Amino acid sequence: MKYDDKKTIVLGVIGSDVHSVGIRILDEAFSEAGFNVVNIGVLSSQEDFINAAIETDADAILVSSLYGHGELDCKGFKEKCIEAGLGDLILYVGGNLVVGKQDWPTTEKKFLDMGFDRAYPPGTLPEKPIEDLKNDLGIK
């Protein structure tokens, strides 16, 4: 049960990725923007994200991946969310999501086709997903 008007987001780094600096920056930026941030840290499984979202009654899940294996780590994520009763939860993904050089529109399409609502390329500043999330959640 939520006791304030803040929207809750679950934030973490998926799979075997140990890149922690970016997630700390996102945690701070989203917190300063007025979100209740539940940072599950690095080396997080899909189940870790989903369980945290259920436990905190989250409004969105933000998945980060910088080691290039996001495509493998995120496969089936939306389906698991649906199975857990979180089919309407907003899903964002961002970072260095694929191995090698691929053009961003192709990579973005892969993740949108997987059921993510938005996907962000490497180097995206926090202001963009913050603005998008506020719009997607109807926050003025």
d(CA 38, CA 30): 10
- For the chain, the structural domain boundaries read 8-133
Active site residue: 19, 48, 69, 117, which one?
Answer: 19
d(CA 87, CA 77): 10
Q: Which tokens sit at 43?
A: 């080396």
**What pLDDT does residue 3 have?**
53
Neighbours of 89 (CB within 10 A): 20
- Kindly report the CATH class assigned to 8-133: alpha beta
d(CA 95, CA 140): 27
Active site residue: 17, 27, 59, 73, which one?
Answer: 17
d(CA 92, CA 48): 16
pLDDT in tens, the chain (140 residues): 455 679 999 999 999 999 999 999 999 999 999 999 999 999 999 999 999 999 999 999 999 999 999 999 999 999 999 999 999 999 999 999 998 888 999 999 999 999 999 999 999 999 999 999 999 999 98
**What pLDDT does residue 1 have?**
46
**What pLDDT does residue 122 have?**
93
Quick check: is 19 catalytic? yes
Under 8 Å CB-to-CB from 75, ≥6 apart: which residues? 114
